[in-house]
Amino acid sequence: MPMKTKLHKIIIIAVVIITTAIISVTGCLERAFVFFGLKRLPDSTDAVRFVDVGQGDCTLVQSDGAVMLIDTGDSGHAIALCNYIRSLGFEKIDRVIITHPHSDHLGGLETICKRMQVDSVYITTIPPSDLSDREAFDGFKESYSGEIVSLAEMDDFRFGGFEVNTVLFDEYAADENDRSAVISLRFGEYGFLVTGDISKNDANINQSADVLKIAHHGSETGTSVKLLSAVKPDYAVISVGADNSYGHPSDEVLSRLKGSGVKIYRTDCNGTVSFLPGDGMKIITEY
């Protein structure tokens, strides 16, 4: 056998041995990090978590070892949100859906994308009119190098055990809140409806759900009688900051929910509220 051929075989064998050793050592190191509490494995729970981000919105969906966000809250809660995601064992975010580009839904996105790997972001192409909202919108667009998909072009998709689809999206509504994408999440027999800040347009929603994320932090402009009649939720979650200056949630909305027999959770009172549909809809609060 020629010397060159022998040398090539030796090199190939050496590379295989070294590669195998690295993989073995890396696996041992990862197990050691987990054992000593230096690293967490991704939380394997199927869950929809309405994260406490103060006077803002953020819904975290996790399934099959992956995580997705619907809205990110404001910039002031972005670092805490990253820490929370990492506490669940996740080092990257597969998808982010921004229901509409107001800073209390979008503001944390730029920081999150800088601190964590984010594979793709679904967001409207139409910039907001308010200056602070526009700064958050432009700041993200200028700094993010991953995949950006127009929200209008988002197809239905499966995320682990969840079916995700857009129930309503009017990108050109006169009221920017009514440009909110309404997102449906279904896990087996259980349904969730995430409504952004939708107000007048909520009369166009005709889909039932077990859990309704109340629009616009419980503002009196949303959560109509017609919406509640269509959705027929068992549970409502209001993402709202404690002692906020807007008077959210409104007494009118609270009265409407109670009159419909809906169990109410609030992030200002209950902290992050997690629903585990794979566990018979177990509910966990983290205040």
The per-residue pLDDT for range 100-120, each reduced to its tens digit, is 999 999 999 999 999 999 999
Q: CA dist 145 to 39, 199, 246, Å?
A: 27, 33, 36
Same domain assignment for residues 153 and 15: no
Torsion of CA 255, 260, 262, 267, to 10 degrees: -30
In the chain, the number of structural domains is: 2
Q: What is the pLDDT of residue 26?
A: 52
Q: What is the 3-state secondary structure (H, E, C) of 124-182?
A: CCCCCCCHHHHHHHHHHHHHCCCEEEEHHHCCCEEECCEEEEEEECCCCCCCHHHHCCE
Average pLDDT score over the chain: 92
| 35 vs 254 pLDDT, higher one | 254
Q: What is the pLDDT of residue 191?
A: 98
Same domain assignment for residues 32 and 53: no
Q: Is the peptide bond before 42 cis (omega within 30 degrees of 0)?
A: no
Q: What is the pLDDT of residue 117?
A: 98
Position 232 pLDDT exceeds 70: yes
**CATH number where 91 lies:** 3.60.15.10
| 5 vs 52 pLDDT, higher one | 52
Same domain assignment for residues 148 and 217: yes
For residues 275 and 60, the answer to whether their CB atoms sit within 8 Å is: no
**Locate tokens 């597969």: which residue?**
94
Same domain assignment for residues 34 and 53: no
Same domain assignment for residues 214 and 75: yes
Q: What is the pLDDT of residues 234-243, one digit of tens each?
A: 999 999 999 9
Residue 31 to residue 175: CA distance in whole angstroms: 52
Same domain assignment for residues 35 and 65: no
Position 82 pLDDT exceeds 80: yes
The closest alpha carbon to 47, from 192, 189, 181, belongs to 192
Same domain assignment for residues 23 and 71: no
- Split at pLDDT 50, 70, 90, the class of 35 is very low
Q: What is the pLDDT of residues 177-210, one digit of tens each?
A: 999 999 999 999 999 999 999 999 999 999 999 9
- Split at pLDDT 50, 70, 90, the class of 159 is very high
The closest alpha carbon to 213, from 264, 147, 153, 151, belongs to 264
Q: What is the pLDDT of residue 278?
A: 94
Same domain assignment for residues 21 and 51: no
Same domain assignment for residues 30 and 52: no
For residues 216 and 197, the answer to whether their CB atoms sit within 8 Å is: yes
Same domain assignment for residues 101 and 32: no
Of all residues in the chain, what percent carry a pLDDT higher than 70?
Answer: 89
Per the confidence metrics, is the pTM higher than 0.75?
yes
- Tokens for 176? 């920017």
Q: What is the pLDDT of residue 13?
A: 76
Q: What is the pLDDT of residues 7-26, one digit of tens each?
A: 677 777 766 677 666 656 55
Position 29 pLDDT exceeds 70: no
Q: What is the pLDDT of residue 10?
A: 73
Position 3 pLDDT exceeds 70: no
Domain coverage including residue 2 = 1-39
Position 168 pLDDT exceeds 50: yes
Q: What is the pLDDT of residue 140?
A: 97
Q: What is the pLDDT of residue 40?
A: 76
Same domain assignment for residues 33 and 52: no
Residue 206 to residue 167: CA distance in whole angstroms: 8
Backbone angles phi, psi at 103, to 5 degrees: -65, -20
Same domain assignment for residues 117 and 35: no
Q: What is the pLDDT of residue 6?
A: 66
